[in-house]
Structure formats: C-alpha cells, structure tokens
Structure 1
Amino acid sequence: MKKFYPYLFLALILCFSVTAGANVRSLTEQEALPNFADGRDYFSYAVPIPVGDGRENRILIQSFFDYDCRVCVNTQDILVLYSQINSHKVVLEEYPVATAQARFSARVFYSLQQMNNEDISDLLLFETDDPARYQALSVMDNLLGWLREQKIDVSAFKAVFNSEAVAKKTEEAIQRTEKYGVFTYPFVVIDGRFVLTSSTLYNDDYTFAVLNFLVDKITAERGVK
C-alpha cells in the first residue's frame, strides 16, 4: 500500500490548489464588486418623491444646475453621455435652480429654451464657470452684449425673457427646487429616491459607477415588484 502514498499526496495537493484557486477568484470577484454606501456616495430621501409615468419605464435622472457652477459643466457632460449610452434605461431632464430671491438664471435658461437655443445655454454654462464672469453676465446689459456676440436676436430674447410663458416656467422651477429640497448645485436626483452632489459628481468614472449601481438597484427592485 505504501507505493500509493505519493499519488494520494499529489491528489491532495491538486485538490487544495483547485480549492485555493476558487477561493482566490471568489475573493477577487467580491473585491471587484462596488461597495457604495448611502450617506457617503449618495443620499436617500426619507420619503421618495413620486416622479410620475410616461417615460416608457425608463428611470428619470433630474439634474439641477446654476450658471454659477464650475462642477455643473463637468456634471452636464457626464450625465448627457451616460443618458446617451443608457438611453434604453434612463431619461435625463435638466432644470435650473431657482428661488423667490434668485430667478435670473431660470429666466435666462427658459428664454433660450423657448427660442430653441439650448446650445447657447450650454455655452453660457461653460462661460460662467468663473465667478467673476458670472457676476458680469448677471447684469442684463452685459448678457445682451454676450448674446449679440453669439448671433442671438437680443430684441427677441428680451421679449421672451419678459413673457408670461417664461414667468410661468420660472415659478415652476421655484416650486420644483423647493419640492426636491435642492440645497446645493449640482444636485442630481435619481428616480425621486437618491441624490448625488458634487462630492460624487466631480469624477467621470466614479459618477458612472455610482449611477450604474443605483440604476441596477432600481431596475432589480422594479423586477421584484
């Protein structure tokens, strides 16, 4: 029987190697899984805010911004790219932050939107990421001069800016800002349940990973229901 001991020993080594290899792979896979935490990587509303239907079961991403916001420029690029890549899963909507004391940015945004000049609004967001430049363009005469440089009909812009339609949109923006408890910007709401702020939105890869984590979480929960 002794002549079989070496074979038994080799078999035990082989068995241990396979088991150890499986354990290493399992550990590596576990380490590769995202480990995002509520209160650190994202925040949750105590009571979710209903966002309504009509989006073909896609998850709503709401992005609140202001022109005086350097991080908002990068956030917009990240969210637009993410929504394009995942257009079958998510839909992106952008809103200006507005309060009863601060309406100017919202009126500018909705005026340019009404004139089908969203590209100029995007350009203005980039232009005003410098605080001094934002202060300058917060003065109507300076803003009109800048819009004129962008080949915008400033007479038409002023008419739209002072219109009832834009005034109504601005009031809605104020109510929406209050409803979602927007206290900073950028402020991104996922499905009326989760919030991302600049602490997460500063980095492309990190933001994509957290978005994927939350979208997958919501999708899985909807599947259970």
Structure 2
Amino acid sequence: MDIRELSAALLLFFSPTVFADPVNAVESENTFEEQPHFEDGKDYFSYLEPIVELPRPDKKIVIRSFFAYDCSGCSSTHDVLELYSQINGNRVILKSHPVATEDAIFTPSIYFTLISLGREDLANLFLFENADKSNQQIKNKKFIHWLKKHKVEEEAFITTLKTPEIQQKIKSAIELTQKYGVFTIPFVVINGKYVLTQSTLYNDDYTFAVLDYLVDKVENERKK
C-alpha cells in the first residue's frame, strides 16, 4: 500500500461521517479536457456535506491550511501554498489556522500570542525551527531562550498569552479544527469542499496541479 492509498484508508476509518466514500463518490459533471484528470479519494478528498464558506465580495476561493508546530511536513506545505496564493492572487486567498484540541493548545497559544505582540514573522519562523518535540512546552527553557534570541520578553509573552482575547482565539481554533474535521496535518481545505493531505502535499508540482484542478472545478461549479 503506497502513501496515497494509506491516506485514503485513514480518511475512511477515522472520519466516516465527514468525508464521502471515494469508491462511491459521485463524479462531477464538469470536465476539464485540457487538464490532467485527478481522482476523488486518491488525489484529493471531498466532504460528504460541504462546509459553507461565506461568499467574498472579491469572489476569491478560500484555501484553508491547518498546521501545527510539531508537524514535519507543515513548513514545506506552508511554502508551497504561499507561493501558489501569490501566483494566483486574483483567484484564491490563503488562510492559515493552528490546529487545536482541548488537550493540545500549544500551537495556537504560540501562534496567536506572537501575532498579538506584532511578531507574525516569528509565528511563521517557529514553524520551520520547531522540529524538536522537546520544545513543546511554553515554559520550556529552550523556548524561553528562543523568545529572548528573537527579542521577545518572556514576561510580555506570558502576560499576553493569559489575556481573554488570546484565550478566546484558542477556543475558536478548537472549534474550527472540529468544524473542518481535521484529524491529520498538514490538512488543506479548498472552499469548504475538497481536502488535500500529505499524500498530495509531498510534491510541489503535484500539489500545484491538483490545486489548479480544484480551483478550476470550484469556479466551474459556481457557474451552474
């Protein structure tokens, strides 16, 4: 069983009520004769019931990227999606979301606190530098050293983290993770309908091709 087959099996096993059965998925009536053909359940996955995305005035398609700081594949996914959204800025908008559960709030705690302190650059940089799982305690000496190295005061960080605003954002991150049925990372959602996981995101060219296919698919569906 290759990685894509394994990913498909895991999707069916862990989220039977969230995603459509790839075997029984209904093929879209839309065809893209000039594009490669990608298969639901193999190259991407579909929600059984699409999650409603509020219409945007600019009509851009929303790409949501769920990540965690202990995810080895999330940094490369971040780079690929950033590049794709820049190249296709007139068609898509990229939104990044830290994955969170009641028992795992490390990523949103770091992410939202750094952004609140005006250090979005560090919120993204930490994604690339946090390969060591021993870093994943906010009061861990390595993390405190990392903050000081980048001129962030420990006291300011802890104080900001404890504010109601940050705690509410962490709560919202938990709710969003549940809403989109995130069970693996990286986890990318296109317009609330289609999902890409590591089985597609491992290769830049492959990811770009599937994204092009799905973005075109969404635009074509909107015309109906």
TM-score range, shorter chain: 0.7 to 0.9
Which of the pair has more CA radius of gyration?
A: 1
Q: Does 1:175 align with 2:175?
A: yes
**What pairs with 1:63-212 in structure 2 (closer than 5 Å)?**
63-128=65-130, 130=131, 133-142=132-141, 143-212=143-212
Unaligned runs of 5+ in 1: 1-29
SS at match of 1:211: helix
- Contact 2:108-2:173 at 8 Å conserved across structures: yes
Shift of 1:199: 0.5
Shift of 1:118: 1.3
- Contact 2:106-2:136 at 8 Å conserved across structures: no
SS at match of 1:60: strand
Q: Does 1:53 align with 2:55?
A: yes
Matching residue's letter, 2:189: V
SS at match of 1:120: helix
Shift of 1:51: 1.4
How many residues of Structure 1 are paired with residues of Structure 2 in the alignment? Answer: 191
Deviates more, 1:139-148 or 1:75-84: 139-148
Q: Give the distance between the partners of 1:108 and 1:144, measured in 2 at CA.
A: 12
SS at match of 1:219: helix
Shift of 1:137: 4.0
Q: Give the distance between the partners of 1:47 and 1:53, measured in 2 at CA.
A: 17
Matching residue's letter, 2:152: I
- Contact 2:63-2:190 at 8 Å conserved across structures: yes
Structure having the higher helix fraction is 1
Q: 1:28-51: per-residue Cα shift (whole Å, max 9, x none)?
A: xx7x73121000000000000011
Q: Give the distance between the partners of 1:49 and 1:213, measured in 2 at CA.
A: 19
Shift of 1:136: 2.6
Shift of 1:139: 4.5
Unaligned runs of 5+ in 2: 1-32
Q: Give the distance between the partners of 1:53 and 1:33, measured in 2 at CA.
A: 27
Which position in structure 1 is the counterpart of 2:30? none
- Contact 1:67-1:125 at 8 Å conserved across structures: yes
- Once superposed, what is the RMSD of the aligned Cα atoms? 1.3
Q: TM-score, normalised by structure 2?
A: 0.82
- Contact 1:55-1:91 at 8 Å conserved across structures: no
Which position in structure 2 is the counterpart of 1:42? 44
